[in-house]
Amino acid sequence: DVKVTQSSRYLVKRTGEKVFLECVQDMDHENMFWYRQDPGLGLRLIYFSYDVKMKEKGDIPEGYSVSREKKERFSLILESASTNQTSMYLCASESPRGYTFGSGTRLTVV
Amino acid sequence: EDKVVQSPLSLVVHEGDTVTLNCSYEVTNFRSLLWYKQEKKAPTFLFMLTSSGIEKKSGRLSSILDKKELFSILNITATQTGDSAIYLCAVEVAGGTSYGKLTFGQGTILTVHP
């Protein structure tokens, strides 16, 4: 079974801090995705990557950047965290059944 | 812009009831429609639908796709408290740089009371 691991389940950060969310998959998948999930809005795509060092903006990239230096790792970066970035962040890796998701990181920005 | 809309947004039922969750979509280059169940953490895969009119079943859950009318339904019969979750519908589009990208609906929050 594909495993997608997000490094933190819960994070609390201060406004203005730089935040790194890490995601690792163990199946050599090329496609990886970062979503945020908010009540009533569902999952919205922030960034995705089809290969190492390759990235594409999703629907809501503002305030975020990403890094894919190795195939198995896809990092989401909040350059200067703001309170409106308080959310659940889900990483996913593409598999034959659509996506396999990580367990999510609940980020609170205070 | 690709769009996926789920209804209802929330639903409260009692154990034993049957529920129907709806998902409609407007996308370019449809490839597949997927249903996920999300409890406390990661969404887990339920169904992938690519062909119209063919029902997929797994225990008490079933789903069908209508590609002409652009919607899908997820049925749960004889609901149990363990069915309480957020049910997510997503559509995958094909081709070009959008390959493999899923667009999600808002989700339906199902609560099953004993």
Q: How many CA atoms lie within 13 A of B60 on its CB side?
A: 13
- For the cut 90, the answer to whether the pLDDT of residue A80 exceeds it is yes
Pairwise CA distance, residues A59 & A38, whole Å: 14
- Chain B residues whose C-beta is within 8 A of a chain A C-beta are 4, 6, 9, 32, 34, 36, 41-45, 48, 88, 90, 92, 97, 99-107
Residues of chain B with pLDDT under 50: 98
- For the cut 90, the answer to whether the pLDDT of residue A95 exceeds it is no
Strands (E) located in chain A = 4-6, 10-13, 19-21, 23-25, 32-38, 42-49, 56-57, 64-70, 73-78, 87-95, 98-101, 105-109
Cα distances (Å, whole numbers) of residue A22 to A6, A19, A34, B74: 6, 10, 10, 33
- Reported as a single tens digit per residue, the pLDDT across B85-114 is 999 999 988 755 545 678 999 999 999 999
- The percent of residues above 90 in pLDDT, for chain A, comes to 72
Contact between chains at B104 and A48 (C-beta distance less than 8 A): no
- Reported as a single tens digit per residue, the pLDDT across A29-42 is 889 999 999 988 88
Point out the residue among A43, A102, A104 whose CB comes nearest to the CB of B88: A43
User: Which residues on chain B are in Cβ contact (under 8 Å) with A50?
Assistant: 97, 99-100
Q: B36 near B44, Cβ under 8 Å?
A: yes
Point out the residue among A48, A90, A97 whose CB comes nearest to the CB of B48: A97
How close, in Å, is residue A70 to chain B by CA atoms?
Answer: 20
